[in-house]
Amino acid sequence: MLGSYRVLENRKTRGGKEYKLMFDDDKFKKPLRVAHIKSPFLPFSETFIYNYVSHLQRYTPIVITEYQINHNLFPVENIISHRSGNGRYEQGLAVFRSLLAGRIQRELFMGRFYKKALKESVADVVHIHFGVPGLMLRHITHRLKLPVLVSFYGYDLSQTPQLLGEDVYKRNGLFENGQIFTAEGNCARQRLIELGCPENKAYLLRIGIDLKKNTFKPRKLLGTHETPKILFCGRFVEKKGLLYAIRAVGKVKDSGHNFSFDILGDGPQRKAAEQLVSDLQLGSFVRFHGIVSYEEFIRHCYNCHVFLAPSVTAQVTRETEGGAPTVLLEAQSTGMPVVATYHADIPEVVLDGKSGFLVPERDTDLLAKAITTLLRHPEHWHEMGEHGRRHIEQQHDNQKVIQNLESLYDLARETQFHIK
């Protein structure tokens, strides 16, 4: 089949906009197309998904989403969106779907919309982001005979199996119906295999960083009176370890060190974090900035000296990072030393003793010791920053990641063709 696509019309539907993709068969040879399925498209915390979508070379992306947010931050040329909204209704609905994944009728999660959108996209391969949507769409992609790649990132490797059973993906046929399943690190990949994914279908897909945008800047104190700056960025949920970070910097303060601690983000632990700052008399040291844009986050990176990411396994939900926080990659790409934990795939991202320090989860004494060591020895920041930058260049350069991703698309198409 020949053809190329363009956005022909912007038509109104109930609750928002829908973009219909049309084709001109006579003028253009059909390019390879990949349908990216992600709802919503796209939260601040999922910039890494935008990197996958926006940097493709051989495949033209079409985003299929139930609703779109942050349009100005994550622009896409080709999108099929069912509705627009402020996200509150949809977020509640997403929780409902997550709890019932594998048991609800397909009509409840807009199966008709996805089936129609996939047909209109004329996709050669489908890339589904997160495991739960993969479960929900498995019958549709199978009936349309579309090759599928499903990427797992975090909660789908921890919370979903805890809620719905370790065999939730296997017993519902996800691994049987899909061609490729990806995880961002070896720990996450092993977890995927433990959940029933055949080893020959489980692949690594690193998080990609745009190193052309993030240049290396050696960290140093500009004078004897400059205050070292510590940075945290993440959702205020248990797995991010913010409360442990605050307790650790409280111990650093008690040991007589001067510093400032900038906290970026928001979430359900906001009040607890603010109360802990007050209890530890850290008010003059800590500043909460709220949710910031990606550009603002990078500016904070360049203005700070030490990045803190003490991730933990949540005690009740057992939620983990799955792989590693993307902010750790971003921070190291700018040349900043980091302090993090032995958690999930973080040891693959942070080179202990070279690009930063790793400590056990929840150990605030060792966390404080690692921070103190960096504050006492600013002469090591430059070398540690170089190690981190070099590691990100080798493992997470977006150009290399995209080459790998498109090779996986090729493999999914080839595998599905042979299965036929």
Domain-wise residue ranges, the chain:
5-208+397-419, 229-396
Q: What is the pLDDT of residue 420?
A: 46
Q: Do domains 5-208+397-419 and 229-396 have the same CATH topology?
A: yes
Q: What is the pLDDT of residue 175?
A: 97
What value does the mean pLDDT take over residues 396-415?
97
Residue/partner pairs of 107-111 with CB below 8 Å, 24 or more apart: 109/136, 110/66, 110/82, 111/136, 111/139, 111/140
Calpha distance 400→26 (Å, rounded): 34
Q: Which residue has the tokens 């939620």?
A: 319
When pLDDT is cut at 50, 70 and 90, the band that residue 15 belongs to is very low
- pLDDT above 90 coverage of the chain, percent: 80
Answer yes or no: are the C-beta atoms of 145 and 179 closer than 8 Å: no
What value does the mean pLDDT take over residues 167-178?
96
Q: What is the pLDDT of residue 138?
A: 94
Q: What is the pLDDT of residue 92?
A: 53
Q: What is the pLDDT of residue 14?
A: 36
What value does the mean pLDDT take over residues 353-377?
98
E strands, 2-50, are: 5-13, 16-23, 32-37
Calpha distance 383→12 (Å, rounded): 56
Calpha distance 220→228 (Å, rounded): 9
Cα separations in angstroms, 374 against 30, 252, 318: 54, 11, 31
Q: Is the pLDDT of residue 295 over 70?
A: yes
Instruction: Average the pLDDT over each of 23-27, 89-93, 104-108, 165-169 and give the range with the smallest value.
Output: 23-27
The domain 5-208+397-419 having CATH identifier 3.10.250.10: the answer here is no
| Architecture of the structural domain at 229-396 | 3-Layer(aba) Sandwich (3.40)
pTM here is 0.86
Within 10 Å of residue 46's Cβ, how many Cβ atoms?
19
Q: Does 72 or 224 have the greater pLDDT score?
A: 72
Which ranges of 204-305 does DSSP label H, i.e. alpha helix? 242-254, 270-279, 294-303
- Give me 321's structure tokens: 């990072």
* Cis amide bond preceding 42, omega within 30: yes
- Give me 54's structure tokens: 């926006």
Q: Report pLDDT digits (tens) over 265-288.
A: 999 999 999 999 999 999 999 999
Q: Is the pLDDT of residue 228 over 50?
A: yes
Answer yes or no: are the C-beta atoms of 397 and 213 closer than 8 Å: no
Within 10 Å of residue 70's Cβ, how many Cβ atoms?
18
